[in-house]
Structure 1
Amino acid sequence: MAGYQIQEKTPAFIHKNILSKGDGIQIDAIQLCHRDKVLDFLRSHYYLEEPLTIGSYPKEQDPEDEKFNMSQITHGTCLMALNEERIVGVLISGLKHSNEADHLFEDAARFGPTKWGTALKILACAERESNVYVRYNVLKALHIHILAVDAQLRGHTIGASLIEEIKKLGRHLGYPLLTLDCTSYYSAKLCERLHMDLVNVIKYDEYLDKEGKPIFKPPPPHQSLKTYATRL
């Protein structure tokens, strides 16, 4: 993640109309021209509820958080679910290597006690503790950073469809593994229903600062950051 930049061009490999469903939902690849619409969607349907965001001060997301997630578009592995022209779901994912934990800790130190730096540090701990590279004997993985669905359409399998489609794309691109850090109770339940492997748990009330106080205090039912993985 260190030194991430939004490039001018997306990779040549782009899927269009990846999945069409009978209920009118279509899944497409996100391209740079979609950036502003995708970010507006995330501001309305993701950040307002994301446990690391609302569970620490200030309650709003750090601009560096948004910058990083939008930088992932250049990998060609970010998807959006559309109902006609309206975005109703977003999945942001990108490549990570076996030294990902080192990069995360380096970036956490670089951003220091900022909101983004604090989030990076718990994600670095999750990356180090899950150690999926040894566990699954792989050198790289495709990692889902964000899974968000329109609040009015949850329960209609849009999130599951996005995950199933990124699994297909990951296999096509030669990724051996898909991983996801679930900061939310609901995304973790979805991973359970999809029979993904639970590889690590960090309980928020046990992740403490130097004074022994919880760093993140999200509202119920969010109690932990759970890391899931599945072979592709």
Structure 2
Amino acid sequence: MTMPYPPSFQLQEKFEKLSFQYESQISEDSAISGCSTPSTPTSPIDFEIKIATNEDKEKVREFLQKFFYKDEPLNLYLGLITDENPRCMDLERFTLKDMDNGVNLLAEQNGKLIGVCLNGTFERGKMENFECTDAKFSKIVSLLDYVATESDPFKIYPGIDKAMTVKILSVDGSFRGKGIAKDLMIKTRELARQKGCGFITVDCTSHYTACAAKKLGFKLHYTLNYEDYKVDGKTVFRPAHPHKELTVYTQRII
């Protein structure tokens, strides 16, 4: 895969990307770049947030395997993860390649991983390349590259040269509605300021991700209807309702 700057799915990454209680039953603690089953908010709980390291890579992979990879709308549409093929190595490599960048966050309760917020920083005019061999995932990477080029959030922040991207924000289904995602985002903003970032961006491949971004105070910057994204004259993605578009949301933090 080749990616300029962040994601979705919240992957730059871009693909990796939200899902919360918005309007009817969208829970505020689902997946930023994903599509998870809404849940009813319950009382808050005690948990701690820490910065992830390479030593956390395998448990984060297992967490995403359970709560994110399979249900993300584009992954689901392409059948990227199935019972017969439960893992996509390119997807895992792409989402976990920067575990030691100092801005990835884990939420834990008594040592149990209950939420993740995978982030990254990117700078104006700099692009990243990702070599992808999986035919299905390559389609997603190409889409994200296209959106990165077309949307370029630096266009609306002319005086800023560095930003934070939320790639994946996902919470254990049994712990949603307890403020975990909100606290992960608060900590993400703190880290963004420490790293000299002027704004945060998130690519939303899911309708629920977009709802979550709005609830968290992000502003819509770019929209691409899936039916309008074509390769060789053919629409590439037709995910199930209500996921009809990929959106990019931003939030200025300085």
Q: Tell whether the structures are fold-level matches, with TM greater than 0.5.
A: yes
Return the match for 2:70 from 25, 48, 55: 48
Partner of 1:84: 110
Equivalent positions of 1:103-118 (< 5 A) are 103=128, 107=130, 111=132, 114-118=135-139
Specify the SS of the correspondent of 1:73.
coil
Amino acid at match of 1:175: C
Of 194, 197, 206, which residue of structure 1 is paired with 2:228? 206
Q: Identify which of 205, 218, 230 aligns with 1:183.
A: 205
Task: Give 2:53's match in structure 1, choosing from 4, 9, 31.
Answer: 31
Tell me the percent identity: 26
Return the match for 1:174 from 188, 193, 196.
196
**Which amino acid is the alignment partner of residue 187 of structure 1?**
T
Deviation, structure 1 residue 190: 1.1
Amino acid at match of 1:75: N
Residues 130-166 of structure 1: per-residue CA shift (max 9 Å, x gap):
2211211222211111111112222223222211210
Which amino acid in structure 1 is aligned with residue 250 of structure 2?
A
Structure 1: how far apart are the matches of 2:58 and 2:133?
Answer: 28
- Retained in 1: the 8 A contact 2:70–2:80? no
Structure 1 residue 173: deviation in Å?
1.7
**Mapped contact 1:112–1:118 kept (Cα < 8 A):** no
With structure 1 as the length reference, what TM-score do the two structures score? Answer: 0.81
Q: What SS does the corresponding residue of 1:227 show, helix, strand or coil? A: strand
SS at match of 1:66: helix
Deviation at 1:113, TM superposition (A): 7.3
**Secondary structure in 2 matching 1:72:** coil
Indicate the larger mover: 124-133 or 38-47. Answer: 124-133
1:89/1:158 contact within 8 Å kept: yes
* Structure 1 residues 78-157: aligned runs within 5 Å: 78-100=104-126, 102-103=127-128, 107=130, 111=132, 114-137=135-158, 138-157=160-179
Alpha-carbon distance in structure 2 between the residues aligned to 1:215 and 1:66: 22
Taking structure 2 as the reference length, the TM-score comes to 0.75
Give the Cα separation in 1 of the matches to 2:206 and 2:169: 10
> Whole-Å Cα distance in 2 between the matches of residues 140 and 208 of structure 1?
31
Residue 2 of structure 1: how far off its partner (Å): 6.2
Matched, 1:196 2:222: no
Number of paired residues?
A: 209
**Structure 1 CA distance, aligned partners of 2:72 and 2:194?**
30
1-structure distance, mates of 2:81, 2:230: 19
Name the aligned partner's letter for residue 48 of structure 2.
Q
Q: 1:154, 1:208 → 2: CA distance?
A: 36
Tell me the equivalent position of 2:98: 72
Aligned residue for 2:250, secondary structure, equals strand
Q: 2:26 corresponds to which residue?
A: none
Q: Report SS of the residue matched to 1:168.
A: helix
User: What's 1:228 paired with?
Assistant: 249
